[in-house]
Structure 1
Amino acid sequence: MNYGFWIHGELDRGRLAVALAETLALTPDKVDVGDDGDDDRDWDAPVSCTVTSVAGDLHWHLDVYVGEAVGNQPAEPLAAAWLANRLGTVVAYQALPAPPSAFYLVGPDGTRARARIYEDDDAPVVFRIDAVEQPLAALPGLPVAPIPEVIREYRMPTPVRDRLAERSPAIRDFTMRLGAWESMVARLAEGWAPDGWYPADYYREDLLIRDELAARLGSLPESVRADAAAALAEVDARFTDLTHEDGGRALTSETGPLPAGPSARWWWHRISSPLPWQGTPGR
């Protein structure tokens, strides 16, 4: 297993070796810590940590390799929190494979915040913390702001869409939009995964996708229209169960008037409680 961590501040290699050993339930002599390019390394050690200096708001990168023989291998968030506590500093790790700016920061008190961190390809590499979704006592003064771009990268299950796509591969355009609608409803069911909030403009875009589904349903070939209508009705029923009628007032208050169109577009008049955007960081 490999861990990738970034450390803020000074780094004591001896303390780092002890902290890694404790994280993995080993003794410190089982952990090799060395600088990038250092030839005097114990490559047979169960744990190898290569330390590389970086610049900007973060100062060290740790490339940690843990051999298969090591039984205790905690998940990256747990290992990061342990290191932050034992080293008394802030530890960063990547949150998603995309976008590349998606990180988490964890402080020595265990507070974790989603962060947007940009990497500049200078020499040495410069890391700049652009924003965090909640303040960190260990790094006061960081800009606190929503980081919505990670929401769409967090994939939600779409079993209804998947079944329809398998039965009716020829209506790919319809099933693609159904997947987007089902993804929003699944996100709602999970309390607005991954971070407990959803931007109002995203919510509005999803309702526009529902408009497109209504418009496209009638033009589908008759041989697949019934299956498509049943799939859409299944997702709609879940959306109805998770929302309540408010006449569109909450969305209008947040994003402006609803688009003109048939009054039968009932989905524009339903909202969840609490509001999707109620938990927006910094709001």
Structure 2
Amino acid sequence: MANLLVVATQHEASLRRALAEVVPVPQGKVDLADPHRAERNWGAPVLCTYRLLPPGDLALELDVTVEAGTATGLSEAGIAAGLATRTGSSGLHPAQIGVPLRVWERLVRRMESDWSPSGRYRQDLFRRDLEARDDLASAAGRVGAPYAEGLRSAVAQLDAVYREYTDEDADCGRDGTAEGWWWLRCPRRVPW
């Protein structure tokens, strides 16, 4: 899986072609869509959901999932470099800038899917995800001006989903030292 932030807006056709070349698979095996499109080819070996970011230094957020065995040894950094080469647009991935965005995003995606596939999630993993959100709170100052606005925008979107699937509850995950508002909320359906 890769979570990428891209500087220049891309047409769907060029992005699909670039992903197909990077993985490599035929273009018809790449499902590319914005998050509001209901009709998806969930069986495709490459799934990419893109989100337009508010005006700023970054244009797109890409969530790329590659089916196991499709691209052996392809890393998030490899996908980012391959797309940059093929689209002519620079981008970055959270590991490159030292930001645990992927961990926090996975938490809210699990919440959206009612903790799919098992319906369960351990409390220690939930706490780890909240600690990742602590790191995101200070990350905008560490990544530098060119990326800070895009990062703030991506975090704000994830925070909105987190708020949607949680209720205020000061006793849910807080250990007494945590300060962020996210520690004072608990999933509506507690999975542990």
Instruction: Place the TM-score, normalised by the shorter chain, in its bin.
Output: 0.5 to 0.7
Cα distance change of structure 1 residues 122 and 79 upon mapping to structure 2, 3 Å threshold: closer
The superposition leaves residues 33-61 of structure 1 with CA deviations (integer Å, 9 ceiling, x where unpaired) of 01111012111101100011112211111
Look up the SS of the partner of 1:86 in the other structure.
Answer: helix
Deviation at residue 77 of structure 1 after TM alignment: 1.5
Letter in 1 for 2:86: R
The AA in structure 2 aligned to 1:80 is A
TM-score of the aligned structures, taking structure 1 as reference length: 0.36
Larger RCO (CA within 8 A; separation ≥ 6): 2
Structure 2 residue 38 is matched with structure 1 residue 39: yes
For 2:40, the aligned partner's letter is R
Aligned letter for 2:72? Answer: N
2:88 equivalent in structure 1: 88
**More helix by proportion, 1 or 2?**
2
Paired residue secondary structure (1:120): helix
Task: Note if 1:68 corresponds to 2:100.
Answer: no
Contact 1:35 1:52 (C-alpha < 8 Å) held by counterparts: yes
User: Alpha-carbon deviation of 1:75?
Assistant: 1.6
Distance 1:120 1:5 in 2: 14
Given residue 64 of structure 1, which amino acid in structure 2 is its aligned partner?
Answer: V
Deviation at 1:81, TM superposition (A): 1.1
DSSP-derived class of the 2:93 partner: strand
What is aligned with 1:180?
A: none
The one-letter amino acid paired with 1:32 is: D
What is the match of residue 23 of structure 2? Answer: 24
Structure 1 pair 25/124, CA: closer, same or farther in 2 (3 Å)?
same
Deviations 1:207-265 (A, max 9, x none): xxxxxxxxxxxxxxxxxxxxxxxxxxxxxxxxxxxxxxxxxxxxxxxxxxxxxxxxxxx
What's the CA shift for 1:69?
3.5
Q: Which residue of 1 aligns with 2:14?
A: 15
Query: Secondary structure of the residue that 1:32 maps to in structure 2?
Result: strand
Find the residue that maps to 2:14 and give its secondary structure: helix
CA distance, structure 1, for counterparts of residue 59 and residue 25 of structure 2: 26
Q: Which residue of 2 aligns with 1:120?
A: 152
Task: Kindly state the Cα deviation for residue 120 of structure 1 after the two structures are TM-superposed.
Answer: 3.0
Alpha-carbon separation, structure 1, partners of 2:14 and 2:34:
15
Q: Which residue number corresponds to residue 117 of structure 2? A: none
2-side partners of 1:11 and 1:47: how far apart?
17
Q: Distance in 1 between matches of 2:26 and 2:86?
A: 15
Tell me, yes or no, if the aligned pair for 2:53 and 2:153 is still in contact at 8 Å. no
Q: Secondary structure at the match of 1:39?
A: coil
2:182 counterpart residue number? none
Distance apart, 1:74 and its partner CA? 1.2
What residue identity is the alignment partner of 1:74?
Answer: L
In structure 2, list runs of 5 or more residues that go unmatched.
101-131, 158-192
CA gap of 1:94–1:27, structure 2 versus 1, over 3 A, is same
Larger radius of gyration: 1
Q: Which runs of 5+ in 1 are unaligned?
A: 103-113, 126-283
The letter for the 2-side match of 1:72 is T
**1:31–1:47 CA contact under 8 A, matched in 2:** yes
Q: Percent identity?
A: 31
SS in 2 for 1:22: helix
Give the TM-score normalised by the residue count of structure 2.
0.52
Structure 1 residues 41 and 87, CA, compared in 2 at 3 Å: closer, same or farther? Answer: same
Contact preservation (8 Å) 1:3, 1:63: yes
